[in-house]
Amino acid sequence: MRKALGKWGEDIAADYLRQRGYRIITRNFRTRAGEIDIVCRRGRLLVFVEVKTRNGTAYGSPEESITLAKQRQIRQLALAYLENNKPNFGEVRFDVIGILISDGRPQINHLEAAF
């Protein structure tokens, strides 16, 4: 159930990003250290996106679940991605997209340069 909710949220986030002019390069980039949900770009800007989806706020907002440890992990994964793929880019950014399901509908909060 939780995995399905996460995949659904990532699909929503990818559509949201496409509508705003981002090109999705890859989804679910994995190494032994973990996973980056979405890697996308807009022009020469390369963006690593962590997506968090929740059904409610009992445990805080989706964005609040991105701890310092998770931020460090995403940075390490981004370095691995850059080493493996050697993309041509001008700038790197780390975004968080929080999706809160309210009355069955997603509310999207896109934090650019979140960390």
pLDDT, tens digit, 9 for 90 and up, residues 53-109: 998 887 888 998 899 999 999 999 999 999 999 888 899 999 999 999 988 899 999
Residue (of 91, 71, 82) closest to 26 by Cα position: 82
> How many distinct structural domains can be found in the chain?
1
d(CA 60, CA 70): 16
| Portion of the chain with pLDDT greater than 90, in percent | 79
Q: Which domain holds residue 86?
A: 2-111
- Relative to beta strand 105-111, strand 23-31 is unpaired
Total-model pTM = 0.93
Under DSSP, the state recorded for 33 is T
Bridge partner residues of 51 (DSSP): 97
φ/ψ (deg, to 5) at 15: -60, -45
CATH number for the domain harbouring residue 11: 3.40.1350.10
Span 13-20, mean pLDDT? 98
